[in-house]
Amino acid sequence: MALVKTPSTLQHAQPALDDAEVERIRNDFPALAQEVNGHPLVYLDSGATSQKPRSVLESEQEFYEQRNAAVHRGAHELAVRATEAFEDARAAVAAFVGVDPDELVWTSNATEAVNLVAQSLATATVWAERGRGGAETRRLALGPGDEIVVTELEHHANLIPWQELAFRTGATLRWIPVDDAGRLRLEDAASVIGPRTRVVAFAHTSNVLGTVAPVGELVALARRAGALVVLDACQSAPHLALDLRALDVDFAVFSGHKMLAPTGIGALYGRRELLDALPPFLVGGSMITTVTMERAEYLPAPQRFEAGTQRISQAIAFAAAVDYLAHTGMDRIHAREAQLGERLAEGIAGMDGVRLLGPGPGEEWHGKGRIGLAAFDVDGVHAHDVGQYLDSRGVAVRVGHHCAQPLHRRLGLTASTRASAYLYTTTEEVDVFLDALADVRAYFGVA
Indicate whether 232 and 365 sit together in one domain.
Answer: no
What is the band of 397 on the pLDDT scale with cuts at 50, 70, 90? very high
Quick check: is 434 in a domain?
A: yes
pLDDT in tens, 144-201: 999 999 999 999 999 999 999 999 999 999 999 999 999 999 999 999 999 999 999 9
Quick check: is 6 in a domain?
A: no
* Residue 403 falls in the annotated catalytic set: yes
Quick check: is 93 in a domain?
A: yes
Quick check: is 227 in a domain?
A: yes
Indicate whether 183 and 301 sit together in one domain.
Answer: yes
Instruction: For residue 301, count CB atoms less than 10 angstroms from its CB and return exposed for 0-12, middle for 13-18, buried for 19 or more.
Output: buried
Indicate whether 338 and 204 sit together in one domain.
Answer: no
79 CB-near residues (< 8 Å, 6+ apart): 69, 70, 71, 73
Number of CB atoms found within 10 A of residue 219's CB: 19
Compute the distance between CA of residue 301 and CA of residue 105 in angstroms, rounded to an integer: 8
Instruction: Show which of 273, 304, 325 is a domain's final residue.
Output: 325
Indicate whether 240 and 223 sit together in one domain.
Answer: yes
Indicate whether 312 and 333 sit together in one domain.
Answer: no
Quick check: is 55 in a domain?
A: no
Contact, 298 vs 304, CB < 8 A? yes
277 lies in which domain range?
61-325
pLDDT surpasses 80 at 9: no
Quick check: is 357 in a domain?
A: yes
Q: What is the mean pLDDT of residues 389-405?
A: 98
Of 209, 235, 184, 203, the closest CA to residue 413 belongs to 209
**pLDDT above 70: percentage of residues in the chain:** 97
Q: Provide the CATH number for the domain around residue 221.
A: 3.40.640.10
Indicate whether 245 and 385 sit together in one domain.
Answer: no
Indicate whether 213 and 76 sit together in one domain.
Answer: yes
Note the pTM of the prediction, 2 decimals.
Answer: 0.95
What pLDDT does residue 379 have? 98
Contact, 282 vs 304, CB < 8 A? no
Quick check: is 185 in a domain?
A: yes
What pLDDT does residue 160 have? 98
pLDDT surpasses 90 at 12: no
Indicate whether 320 and 336 sit together in one domain.
Answer: no
Quick check: is 345 in a domain?
A: yes
Q: What is the mean pLDDT of residues 273-279?
A: 96
What pLDDT does residue 20 have? 96
Indicate whether 42 and 134 sit together in one domain.
Answer: no
Strands 104-107, 266-270: pairing kind: antiparallel
What pLDDT does residue 13 have? 62
Instruction: Show which of 307, 325, 343 is a domain's final residue.
Output: 325
pLDDT surpasses 90 at 426: yes
Asked, as a colleague might, if the bond just before 53 is cis with ω within 30 of 0, I would say no
Indicate whether 293 and 339 sit together in one domain.
Answer: no
Indicate whether 20 and 83 sit together in one domain.
Answer: no
pLDDT in tens, 329-377: 999 999 999 999 999 999 999 999 999 999 999 999 999 999 999 999 9
Q: Say which of 91, 403, 413, 447 is annotated catalytic.
A: 403
pLDDT surpasses 50 at 234: yes
The mean-pLDDT minimum among 9-13, 17-21, 228-232, 239-243 falls in 9-13
CA atoms within 13 A on the CB side of 428: 8
Q: Provide the CATH number for the domain around residue 399.
A: 3.90.1150.10
Instruction: Show which of 299, 325, 351 is a domain's final residue.
Output: 325
Compute the distance between CA of residue 110 and CA of residue 251 in angstroms, rounded to an integer: 12
Compute the distance between CA of residue 330 and CA of residue 248 in angstroms, rounded to an integer: 20
**Based on the structure, what is the number of domains in the chain?**
2
Q: What is the mean pLDDT of residues 266-287?
A: 95
Indicate whether 68 and 178 sit together in one domain.
Answer: yes
383 CB-near residues (< 8 Å, 6+ apart): 377, 399, 400, 415, 416, 417
